[in-house]
Amino acid sequence: MATTKTKSTNSKIKELKGIKSEKITDEQLEKVQTTVNEINKYQLEIGSIEVQKNQLVQHVGQLRAELTSLQVEFEKDYGTYDIDIATGTINYPENGEADKKD
C-alpha cells in the first residue's frame, strides 16, 4: 500500500511542478487490460453464439422444406394435407371427397 501512496503522491508532485506523467500506474494498466480482455472474450462468445444461431435458423429452414414436401406427398396420396399430427387422422374436406387420383 505504501507504493500506491508514493505513486499517487509522486504524481501529484509532478502535476504541481507541471511535469506530465508518461505512463499510467501498474494498477491502472492491469485494470484496463483486464477490462479490454473481458470485452474481447464476450465479443468472441457473442460471435460463437451468432454462428450457432445461424446454423439453427438454417436447420429450421430445412425442416420447413421437408414439411412442405410431406404436405405435397399427402395432398397427392390423400387429396389433402390436413392431418392430425397427434393421431395421424386425415381431416378430409367438408364434401367428404378427396382429390385422390389412382
pLDDT in tens, 9-59: 777 776 677 778 889 999 999 999 999 999 999 999 999 999 999 999 999
| Structural domain contains residue 39 | yes
Domain that holds residue 81: 25-96
| Structural domain contains residue 6 | no
pLDDT of residue 95: 74
pLDDT band of 96, cuts 50, 70, 90 = low
| Structural domain contains residue 41 | yes
- The count of structural domains within the chain is 1
How many other C-beta atoms can be found within 10 angstroms of the C-beta atom of residue 54?
Answer: 10
| Structural domain contains residue 20 | no
| Structural domain contains residue 15 | no
More confident residue, 14 or 91: 91
pTM of the model: 0.60
| Structural domain contains residue 11 | no
| Structural domain contains residue 1 | no
| Structural domain contains residue 40 | yes
Tell me how far apart the alpha carbons of residues 6 and 30 are, in angstroms, rounded to a whole number.
18
